[in-house]
Structure 1
């Protein structure tokens, strides 16, 4: 059934009066959505908490990158001391230090290892060399000492054979050459792709549920009927979509600025300028994809009559958002290429492709145009359903039932 909203009556004359429509009614709703949200303590606190987490994450990453581990090795004689010292260069290449301590007896060395005075002990035996540790031996330290032992033994064997270690190694050097234009950037691209996917997922879920709950609450409290006396219903939809979209963009921009400032202050922003191009495309796709989803969230709120209805009918849209997330995190090759042209999913998939490979300029342009067209169609479709369903009282209705209602 549909609900008829009576025309207000002028208290002074008793005649029916028609409320004046604002010049830009959608702007009134937009401002209202923004003001209500930024004055909501939970929204402010959650935003502040996320900023703190970003700063903490950057700080922890910088601390871990700058942290130096000092390994201590115990030895018994000049030979093992020389071998352990030979591992210093490899350990230093990883940003750590190595210190060698000599002991007078094997019992003293073993006691030092058990008491934690040294990390490992290096002992020579007739069959080779032995590394002794308390509970475990660090993999990096074990690898470096094993390499140093091999170098020492090979050098001795080469000398006994009347040659040198350099001659034995001649022609065995393997060099690495990467031909890709973005060679060496794979790790950074994966991290940036994860950030893109996570930001889109977080904004789509958090602000989408906010839009749906706002519509449902206004429908339950009949506030929408009051608003409809002064503002066309479709303008209410436009204002809600635009207002929450602006809030999402603003929050994501805040997070991005804080992160960029953090990595610059921490000295971690080296050679990441190539990410900016993909970031620009991500913003464009984010805007188009989010607006498309925002219209659908508003419709879902208008179809429901209580919060339980809303929880049960959001499955399909959450599935689409999850597909976008997993496409950005795990899709590769042909799957990623196809996903980058599917509206909404492309909001994550195409920026990830731009990070990982060389993509012809026409492809992101075509993909963005397809997403924009899909957003326009979803808004028009959502407008027709929203106008019919938001004024409906009673039980929840389906999309098909909403189409049959009078607007």
Structure 2
């Protein structure tokens, strides 16, 4: 590698050992590297194809979910008596009252054998018969649909209760008076918990995918530049720390843009399928997720860059990436399964809080200072990790030969 003769300015002071690249104008070096990372990735066909496929899968998932929610179930039940027909009528009323997604119709047959024959010939989904001992039996051919069994069972209880109450000279309402049970939660609501479960899966999956895809892209880029000795050429033009900052910022921008595309595609599909009202309260939590995602990804990006500088070839990343993969899996686990005090504690742990705190905001009332404090902790950790990562990166990225351990990289001279 050629050496440069020190240049002095008019005052006799030594000029910067890293002159700006020709044609860069007044652009800072980190911005040049950032734009380079973005342009290279944007022109990558595999990146464009994977992004498009993911968008299609997200839209297809929303459309399929809307279809399943709006699809109604129609059942036919063969009965032999007026009592059976009355039970089926009650079941139909209950099914229609529950979002109108279930209808039940009765086919009255003269004999028990005739009802079973309809089931055997698949002209009826099930047969509802009352035995001589008063016991009711629901018979299917190979299976009894769970929705049909549940609504018929409840309707049968209501019918028998009404008959017994009438025989006793009273009504079912009077017999059940005082037996109503109302449920409530001290924090949040059942609807919020359901949305938190859905959002937890979405947030965790997006964070997991972005952290691995773009994190590995950073690490592989650093390894390739080490192997090809391109980093030595770049080091003569720009400071090493600026190279790191550009790589981290460029891939962070790509990850945020991709995340915005996925979120926008999901919201568009929800609006087109008239199911947007189901996730209206997710929007504020999504805003927090974008902010926390940025802080968490900055931390992981710095770690991935350091891992790339420690490796001498792409295969070394498999051994070096265990700690960061553990951190990413921890965030995934928290988003999918954590609750209660574990979720509260996790919402203040950097990287993991990128998923945990938005879920808390959606799941239950959270004081404004809590996400702000968690965000400050995450940003402080990002700044500290970037500063530490820059020192290790600057020491290790110029070292050829075999892979370095973190301890050896720290002991290297700058």
- TM-score for both structures, normalised by structure 2: 0.90
1:92 to 86, 90, 96: 96
Instruction: Pick one of 28, 36, 50 that aligns with 2:40.
Output: 36
The DSSP-based 3-state class of the residue aligned with 1:307 is coil
Instruction: State which of 72, 79, 87 in structure 2 corresponds to 1:83.
Output: 87
Aligned length: 396
Q: Alignment partner for residue 173 of structure 1, among 180, 185, 195?
A: 180
Equivalent residue number for residue 270 of structure 1: 277
* Post-superposition offset of 1:182: 4.5
SS state at 2:151 partner: helix
Q: CA deviation at 1:363?
A: 1.8
- Shift of residue 203 of structure 1? 0.8
Q: Structure 2 matches for 1:100-111, cutoff 5 A?
A: 100-111=106-117
Farther off after superposition, 157-166 or 136-145: 157-166
**1:303 and 1:142, CA in 2 relative to 1: closer, same or farther beyond 3 A?**
same
The CA distance in 2 between the partners of 1:179 and 1:346, in whole Å, is: 24
Choose 166-175 or 346-355, whichever is displaced more. Answer: 166-175
Bigger CA drift: 156-165 or 79-88?
156-165
Are 1:8 and 1:18, in contact at CA under 8 Å, matched by a contact in 2?
no
Alpha-carbon separation, structure 2, partners of 1:197 and 1:318: 14
Structure 1 gaps, min length 5: 10-16
Q: Contact 2:18–2:238 (CA<8 Å) still a contact in 1?
A: no
2:413 matched residue in structure 1: 406
User: Does 264-273 or 377-386 show the bigger shift?
Assistant: 264-273
- Given the alignment of the two structures, is residue 6 of structure 1 paired with residue 2 of structure 2, yes or no? yes
5 Å matches for 1:209-358? 209-270=216-277, 272-358=279-365
Kindly indicate whether residue 115 of structure 2 is the aligned counterpart of residue 114 of structure 1: no
| Distance in 1 (alpha carbons) for counterparts of 2:77 and 2:278 | 37
- Secondary structure of 1:270's aligned partner: helix
- 1:272–1:152 distance in 2 versus 1, CA, 3 Å: closer
Q: Residues 83 and 225 (structure 1 numbering): CA distance in 2 closer, same or farther, change over 3 Å?
A: same
Whole-Å Cα distance in 2 between the matches of residues 272 and 60 of structure 1?
16
Which string of whole-angstrom CA distances, capped at 9 and with x for unpartnered residues, describes residues 22-53 of structure 1? 43111111111111111111111110110010
Tell me, yes or no, if the aligned pair for 1:7 and 1:18 is still in contact at 8 Å.
Answer: no
Report the counterpart of residue 165 of structure 2 in structure 1.
158
Instruction: Calculate the TM-score normalised by the size of structure 1.
Output: 0.92
Shift of 1:158: 2.8
The C-alpha deviation readout for 1:172-214, integer Å capped at 9, x for no partner, is 3334455545453210111112211221111111110010001
CA contact (8 A) 1:211 1:297 kept: yes
